[in-house]
Amino acid sequence: MSFGAWLELIASGVITGSIYALVALGLNLQYGLMRILNIAHGEFLMLGAFVTWVATTALGWSPLAMIPLSFALTMALGLVIHRLWFKRLTDTSPNVDVFEARALMVSFGLMFLVQNFASWVWGGELRGYDYLTDPVAIGSAQFAANKLLVLALSLVFAAALIVLLRTTLYGKGVRALMQSPTGAQLVGINTKTLHPLMFGIGLGLSGVAGCLLSMTYTIAPAMGEPYTVTALIVITLGGFGSMGGALAGGLLLGVVEAIGMHYTSPSLKSLLSYSVFIAVLLLRPNGLFHRKR
Amino acid sequence: MNDRQILTRDLLVLFGLTGWALSLPYYGSEFAVSMALTCLMYIALATSWSLFCGTTRYLSLATAAFFGIGAYTSALTLDTQGWALAIAYGAGIATAVAVVMGALVLHLRGTYFAVLTFGMTELIRHAITTWEKQVTGTVGRVLAVVPERDTVYLTVLLLAVLAVATSIVVRRTRFGLAMRGIGSDEQRAQTLGVDTRLVKIAGFALTAAFAGAMGAAMSVRWTYIDPTTVFNPFIGFQTVLIALIGGAATLWGPLIAAIVFSLLAETLRLQLPQLYMMTLGLLLILSVLYLPGGLASLRWDTFKGWWNDTRAWWKEKRYEWSGDKARDERREKERRVVL
């Protein structure tokens, strides 16, 4: 195989990987901070994609303009959902284990609700639109311009989130809450504002990922579920609650999938990612990059 | 009521329901029988699921895997082995898979366990799809020899009754008590001398046996099966939903919910399939939030509690919106300054 072909293969893996990372970061924020394993996470990616599709095809807006809008929309939805259901769940659950199981169930319900709402409104067909489809040559390899844009933007968003968590005071509060919820509350970190905010931001990132995804791939109401599963795989790879791990895990999974699919067959893609997932969960349940302290 | 009276009551109720279900094919229409089949399928699945998962609080999403394995086994062996043996094989292979799977993952609790069982289900589905495509070169299988409708109905009924009866009996044995002990505090159960590993694997296998047998029996209803139909994760999800909405820790909850939801599904699904699924999702959320014990824990007092809560909430809001709260707070503050 020539160098150019290798570059194309790895790059296509990195591009899908960057979307995985973006979705996984949001899910990781929700699970690491609040113990909500949001099975409905991918459904908000689907919502973001559909909103962008509607705005682009019916209103003629640029998909780029829809990035902040889909973020704001899914984030607002997240705030409402948190206020309506998860807040009450936190107040009424006797301990973390019970809360975790109940939150999982609530997000299951949410998944059914959102997915079927979308297929009720928009129907089950595959949809898409063309945006920046011209090829761009880098060295001896060729890429579609929209894919490069997706890669750049999703890396920017992922990096922005990580930098925000590292440098700002809010970020410090979030990391403290991840380490020890009780300790963080004792030193005066307000969970009442941080929890809904981070839940909203998590969903918002998923919405952005959906918006980016709609620029390159076709979309359907059932598209969210595979991404939820992939996000789960990624955060198990990177370790629950670790942001850098989720980014690295996402990119790694994308590349592994691309190379694996090249050598076997595309129909083995899900088989491959599920095997990686189960192997990691069984052999290294704390994540690939976990070091014993 | 003491324990013996409850046992008698449960057995009598089961006896009555069985008799009623037994007579259904003789007067019911074709549609009623097919609806009853769905009902019975979910009764067996949800009851056997909550037998293990409800008591130990291990949330398994692998029902679809066992169901699919049962269905595939039956499709492969029905021609040569006959009806009863095909079902027995389905249950047996599902049990064997459950023992292996259980030995691998049952040391993990909570979310990890739920996610892993789901992952394994998908892994099995994809593995079988790939195997079918590459080794046998087909996508699905046609069941040529299908038994009579009444035979299928009676078998499914028998399995459902067996599932409920097992649930009634197991609750009263040491095995059932051990599972309940694991559910409330696994470490304590271990300290008190329960071999938790063995009990969990046995319970998981028991659930799988029922799901496998049910899959084997129901596969003939489709006459054509492929991995997407029989390993449909929705079968697993709906079982879990039904058991949780009904009340996974109770005996009759899953049964009541299974009947309610099968009826709801058949009436709504034809016209508005999405609306049915949305209702299902919303009901799950509401039942987790407001009725954690499930439908079976619904008593007159529950409604009274809701009524009182709503009134208290409304009183609080009126106090806030009328401006009284702000005034009282202001006065409180002024008083503090004076002192």
Provide the number of CB pairs (under 8 Å) joining chain A to chain B.
Answer: 104
Q: Taking residues B309-323, what's their average pLDDT?
A: 88
Q: Which is higher by pLDDT, B10 or A1? A: B10
HSE at residue A261, side-chain half, CA atoms within 13 A, is: 16
Q: Which is higher by pLDDT, B129 or A284? A: B129
What contacts B311, CB < 8 A, 6 or more positions away? none
* Chain B residues inside the 8 Å CB shell of A115: 277
Question: Considering only A3-17, A271-285, B99-113, B144-158, which range has the smallest mean pLDDT?
Answer: A271-285
Q: Is the pLDDT of residue B162 over 80?
A: yes
Of B86, B229, B69, B63, the closest CA to residue B151 belongs to B86
ipTM, 2 decimals? 0.82
CATH topology of domain B3-298: ABC transporter involved in vitamin B12 uptake, BtuC (1.10.3470)
- Packing angle of the helix pair B149-170, B196-222 (nearest 10 deg): 160
Pick from B112, B244, B282: CB nearest A113: B282
Question: What does each C-alpha distance from B325 to B250, B308, B322, B332 come to in angstroms?
Answer: 44, 21, 8, 10
Domain annotation covers residue A276:
yes
Contact yes or no for B285 and A110 at CB 8 A: yes
Instruction: Look at strands B224-225 and A135-138 and give their pairing.
Output: unpaired
Domain annotation covers residue A292:
no
Pick from B123, B240, B277: CB nearest A275: B123
The shortest C-alpha distance from B17 to chain A (Å) reads 30
Q: Taking residues B325-337, what's their average pLDDT?
A: 85
Contact yes or no for B283 and A109 at CB 8 A: yes
Q: How many CB atoms lie within 10 A of CB A165?
A: 20
Contact yes or no for B114 and A88 at CB 8 A: no
How does pLDDT run across B260-275, given as a tens digit for each residue?
888 887 777 777 778 8
* Chain A residues inside the 8 Å CB shell of B240: 108
In single-letter form, the type of residue at position B86 comes to A
Q: Establish if B100 touches chain A: CB-CB under 8 angstroms.
A: no
- Cβ(B165)–Cβ(B172) under 8 Å? no
Digit-by-digit pLDDT tens for chain A (293 residues) are 677 788 888 888 898 899 999 999 989 888 888 888 888 899 999 999 999 999 888 888 888 888 899 999 999 999 999 998 888 888 888 877 778 878 888 888 898 899 889 888 888 778 877 776 677 777 666 777 888 888 888 889 888 888 888 888 888 888 888 878 788 888 888 888 888 998 999 999 999 999 988 888 888 888 888 888 888 888 888 877 788 888 888 998 888 888 888 887 776 777 777 787 778 777 776 666 665 54
What contacts A206, CB < 8 A, 6 or more positions away? A22, A23, A26, A27, A41, A42, A44, A45, A48, A74
How does pLDDT run across B44-79, given as a tens digit for each residue?
999 999 999 888 888 888 899 999 999 989 888 888
HSE at residue A166, side-chain half, CA atoms within 13 A, is: 9
Domain annotation covers residue A15:
yes
How large is the greatest C-alpha to C-alpha distance in chain A, in angstroms? 60
Domain annotation covers residue A96:
yes
- Cβ(A229)–Cβ(A240) under 8 Å? no
Q: Which long-range contacts (CB under 8 A, 24 or more apart) does B72-75 make?
A: B72/B128, B72/B141, B72/B215, B72/B219, B72/B225, B72/B230, B73/B212, B73/B216, B74/B215, B74/B216, B74/B217, B74/B219, B74/B220, B75/B141, B75/B143, B75/B219, B75/B225
CATH of residue A176's domain is 1.10.3470
Question: What does each C-alpha distance from B165 to A4, B31, B94 come to in angstroms?
Answer: 66, 27, 20
* Chain B residues inside the 8 Å CB shell of A232: 115, 119
Tell me the C-alpha distance between A276 and A262, whole Å: 17
pLDDT of residue A291: 58
DSSP state for residue A292 in the 8-state scheme:
-
Q: Establish if B283 touches chain A: CB-CB under 8 angstroms.
A: yes
- The residues spanned by each domain of chain B are 3-298, 304-338
Task: State the residue range of the domain holding A54.
Answer: 3-283
Tell me the C-alpha distance between B226 and B129, whole Å: 8
- pTM (global) more than 0.90: no
Q: Establish if B120 touches chain A: CB-CB under 8 angstroms.
A: yes
DSSP state for residue A86 in the 8-state scheme:
I
Domain annotation covers residue A290:
no
Q: Is the pLDDT of residue B283 over 80?
A: yes
Domain annotation covers residue A58:
yes
Q: Establish if B61 touches chain A: CB-CB under 8 angstroms.
A: no
With bands split at pLDDT 50, 70 and 90, how would you rate the model's confidence at B90? very high
From the candidates A119, A233, A274, which should be mutated to test the interface with B, based on the most B CB atoms within 10 A? A274
Please count the structural domains in chain A.
1
